[in-house]
Structure 1
Amino acid sequence: MEAEYLRHGVPLADYQLTRADHSRQHEAVQVHEWLQRHVVQAPRWSDKHGEQMQDLLGPPTPAWELQRWRLRLYCGHVIEATRLRKNPRPDGALGDKECCPECGLDPDVIVAFEPLRAVAAPPPDKRSRMPSHSARKPPGDRRSKAELVAENEALRAELDTLRDQA
């Protein structure tokens, strides 16, 4: 199901900052500074721990699940950014701020936005998005086509035998 994408502050070039925008930017700067102070104090992760986190997070998001947006940042610059396609707006959850590539303001809250386009078209068949049954099994549990055909034939023979007995 395609999300109905929202717009805010269009046209972006004419957007005027509000009190709420100033407040969100101030709060984002405070949170960013607090995190920076505490991250510096945190122990460094081992490479093994980093790999475990990578495994936990899984593979990168496929391109067809992403949407391009034009964003107006607090600093006034307009940029393009990518967000998950299922979200109707780009500034929800953790994606409400950026680092401005033009002036370097970090964090720089999103104050206005408009959807552009999907990064890629979704696969033609919804089922192709889901991993196949064999893809979910551990490698040692996968059976060859010949083994599956033999099992199928044995089950059909057993079914025929049961039908004959009935």
Structure 2
Amino acid sequence: MDVEYLCHGVPLADYRLTKADHRRQQEAVQVHEWVQRQLAKAPPWSEERWQGLRQLLGSPTPPWELQRWQLRLYCGHVVEATRNRNSPRPDGGVCDKKRCPECGLDPAVIVAFRPLGPAAEPPTEIRSRKPGHSTRKPPADRRSKAELVAENNALRAELEALRDQA
């Protein structure tokens, strides 16, 4: 799938904060503080629950499915981050903040961004596949469409014969 990546606020070094940026940062701080208060009240999780969560989340995203972005954060620092390649924006329309690795501001709203390119090239066997085609084979107990159509026709003929007998 080809994605057309978006840019906002380029060049990043010259970006000027807007009222909307200030409002989004303030809201992000309020949400972050509320979550921290809720977490402080919550009972600690057992290792078993953490393990269950890890299983639900699955393995980490392979690097060839990630896009590199240059981000300008609310604090003014410009950093690089990787995000899922399927989204045209680094915030994916959902998470528009991150912790600034330079000054530690947490959360720091993403105010401007530009794509840099893929995080890695896919392995050769993945690149050689045709888009939209899976290399998985159907299970042995699955029948082809032709087999199902033939069985359907035979059952219809049998039903018609039973109706004629009645």
Q: For residue 8 of structure 1, what is the aligned residue in structure 2?
A: 8
Following superposition, which runs of at least 4 residues in structure 1 exceed 2 angstroms of deviation? Answer: 92-95, 125-134
TM-score, reference length from structure 1: 0.75
Partner of 1:60, secondary structure, is coil
* 35 and 65 in structure 1: CA distance in 2 versus 1, 3 angstrom threshold: same
Q: For the structure 1 residues 131 and 53, does the alpha-carbon distance in structure 2 shift closer, same or farther, using more than 3 Å as the test? A: farther
Residue by residue, what CA displacement relative to the aligned partner does 1:113-137 show, whole Å, maximum 9, x if unpaired? Answer: 0000101123213479957459xx8
Query: Which SS does the other structure have where 1:50 is aligned?
Result: helix
Query: Superposition RMSD on alpha carbons, in Å?
Result: 2.1
| 1:82-116 residue CA offsets vs partner (Å, 9 max, x unmatched) | 10000000123443101001111000000000000
What's the CA shift for 1:24? 0.2
Displacement, 1:48?
A: 0.8
Q: Distance in 2 between matches of 1:80 and 1:32?
A: 22
What is the 5 A alignment of 1:57-136?
Answer: 57-122=57-122, 123-126=126-129, 132-133=136-137
- Give the secondary-structure state (helix, strand or coil) at the position aligned to 2:127: coil
**TM-score after normalising by structure 2:** 0.75
Unaligned runs of 5+ in 1: 138-166
- Secondary structure of residue in 1 paired with 2:2: coil
Task: Name whichever structure is richer in helix by fraction.
Answer: 1
Task: Provide structure 2 residue ranges, at least 5 long, that are not aligned to the other structure.
Answer: 140-166
Match of 2:43 in 1: 43
Q: Deviations over 1:40-79 (max 9, x none)?
A: 1111111111111111111111111100000000000000
Aligned residues: 136
Q: How far apart, in 1, do the equivalents of 2:99 and 2:135 lie?
A: 35
